[in-house]
Amino acid sequence: MRHRRTLRHKRTIVLSTAAAVLVGATTWLALPASAAAPTATLRTVSDWGSGWQSEVTIKNTGADAMSSWKVEFDLPAGGAIGSFWDTNLKVAGSHLTFSNRDWNGSLGVDASVTFGFVGSGGKPANCKLNGMPCEGNGEVIPTTPPTVAPTTQAPTAAPTTQAPPATTKPAEPTSEPKEDVPPKSDILPVKVTNDTGRGENVFLYMLGTNLNTGKLGYVNAAGAFTDWTGGASTPVPAPDVSIPGPANGSSVTIKMPKNLSGRLYMSFGQKLDFRLTNDGLVQPAPWAGADPNRDILFDWSEFTLNDGGLFINSSQVDMFAVPHAVSVTGGDGRTLTTGAVKPGGRQRVIDAIKAAPDFAKSVVTRGDGTVLRVLAPGKAADAGLMNPTYLDSYITKSWNAYTNKNLTVVPFGDRPDTKFFGRTSGNVMNFTDTSGKTVASFNKPSTANVWGCDGALGAPNDLVVGPIARTLCAALTRNTLDRLDVQPSGTAADFYQGDTPNVYGKVIHDNMVDGRAYAFAFDDVQAQESLVHSGDPRLAGITLSPF
């Protein structure tokens, strides 16, 4: 099973301490005082800032069997529902009505049924179950996605369908010859090498979540984790927890403790400005005009070190700034490396983006002429540097392509018999499993939903809706959904074509030595991602490439 990144690429600027613990919030209750009646409860299982996932459980606590159910609520301005499952949905302005599918409306006494949905913006309020008011106002508690996924009914029969075309994966991460390795330890050495050719001082930061406690904090050079403290309702400066980095042509080794998931930042010439709130750490977001780090050259890698080993990637999901390779040496002495750019690759990415009129403004240059970063399309749009509706016509074309034919989604490479079949009705694409049961529905996404793989394409950590959402987002981002009716499929040669191509994704992948990158949140669909893993890590590495 491919590693699920603990730090989701759908990021919020503030990492909340509440987001480290799975909390079930019971917020709606329909229980008239005069007599027993059916109840409805809402549980928010995930909130990642730009979106959230909730589920509603209806229990027949009345005296008679139920033949149907209907749950209604209102969303505040800016709120929206994207994907939903095990329910039908009708939308009238800000009022939403969920009703049973044809197979889950009948509930005997004490029986229950659960349906779910992904949304963005404000949370539900003014709940009614079968016309009766629910107690509570729809308030929810932020949580992380569940680590154990619910399952749905197993497929019973498979209709005949075209097999997915063969997929050519990019080259595997480079495997270096065996070498001497450090002994096994719960403190992993991380060697950071500066081959940039640049003369500025480098500053490193190892920040993340302690997976043993759920606390957010920082790590010093020796590998000691410390919880963040001292936040306020208005962001206040965080303590300086920088670690001196390597000068050009040299390396430094810092330590990473086991059961940590987070980021390793590297900045050039100036320390980063982190802030603390009562909720957690405010991380740099240079696409936001008021961010104090907007004129600093910096980047980061993402990692998780736990019982499964080390997972580390170089990320371009938000921006392409400091090219760097990531590596891990296992107990067998072999080193896996990915993320290295081709010689001159950074400049070629910059030149290609500047040459694409729709993307050109996403190249951010400091007053002294230093190109600081190329913003990913979603971040460029957020900053007013790119048309926020760039993909809208392509999305509509792709959605409409499946009005009269099926989209076949085969989300698991090792389970080719697990298939889902999508068909569009209006703006909704409904998916059935091989038994004909409707298992997921998706409202037509916006350009922002595609760039962020959220909102209408929000992917819960389950075994049905999330994998379909991931597949849809990858196909739309790679511009293949309108052309390939089995997904995921195609090869890198099929990606990033058409009238509105994702130039950012294309040129970054084109300029990687092994073709691998994290140019959007679900670039790991079809194994295009720049991630390496070892179940027995002995040494990690980050090499800052020449530019």
Indicate the helix (H) or strand (E) that contains 440: strand 438-443
CB 372 within 8 A of CB 321: yes
**Does 392-499 match 174-383+506-544 at the fold level?**
no
Sign of torsion, CA 250 255 258 260? negative
Give the pLDDT score at 126.
84
What pLDDT score was predicted for residue 169? 58
Q: Helices (H), strands (E): how many in the chain?
A: 6, 35
Going by CATH, does the domain composed of 22-133 fall within 3.10.20.30?
Answer: no
Token pair listed for 472: 């849809």
Q: Are 502 and 479 in contact (CB under 8 A)?
A: yes
Helix 392-400 / helix 465-477 crossing angle, nearest 10 deg: 120
Selected catalytic residue, list 318, 462, 523, 529:
318
Residues of the chain with pLDDT under 70: 1-36, 134-172, 174-179
Q: Any catalytic annotation for residue 135?
A: no
pLDDT score, position 417? 96
Q: 345-354 vs 503-510: helix axis angle to the nearest 10?
A: 160
What residue ranges do the domains of the chain occupy? 22-133, 174-383+506-544, 392-499
Give the phi and the psi of residue 466 in degrees, each rounded to 5: -60, -50
Given 86, 279, 299, 302, the catalytic residue: 302
Q: How do 70-74 and 95-99 pair as beta strands?
A: antiparallel
498 sits in the region (left: phi over 0; alpha: psi -120 to 50; else beta) called left
Annotation marks residue 514 as catalytic: no
Rg (CA), the chain: 24
Identify the pLDDT of residue 515: 97
Question: Could you tell me which CATH number the domain at 392-499 has?
Answer: 3.30.920.50
pLDDT value for 6: 36
> SS3 for 148?
coil
- Cβ atoms of 84 and 101 within 8 Å: the answer is no
Residue (of 282, 452, 301, 300) closest to 376 by Cα position: 452
Per DSSP, 462 falls in state S
Angle at 315 between CA 336 and CA 176, to 5 degrees: 10
Nearest to 395 by CA among 445, 455, 454: 445
Which pLDDT belongs to residue 176?
A: 61
- The fold of the 174-383+506-544 domain, in CATH, is Thaumatin (2.60.110)
Of 196, 288, 190, 293, nearest in space to 243 by CA: 190
What pLDDT score does 145 carry? 32
| pTM to 2 decimal places | 0.82
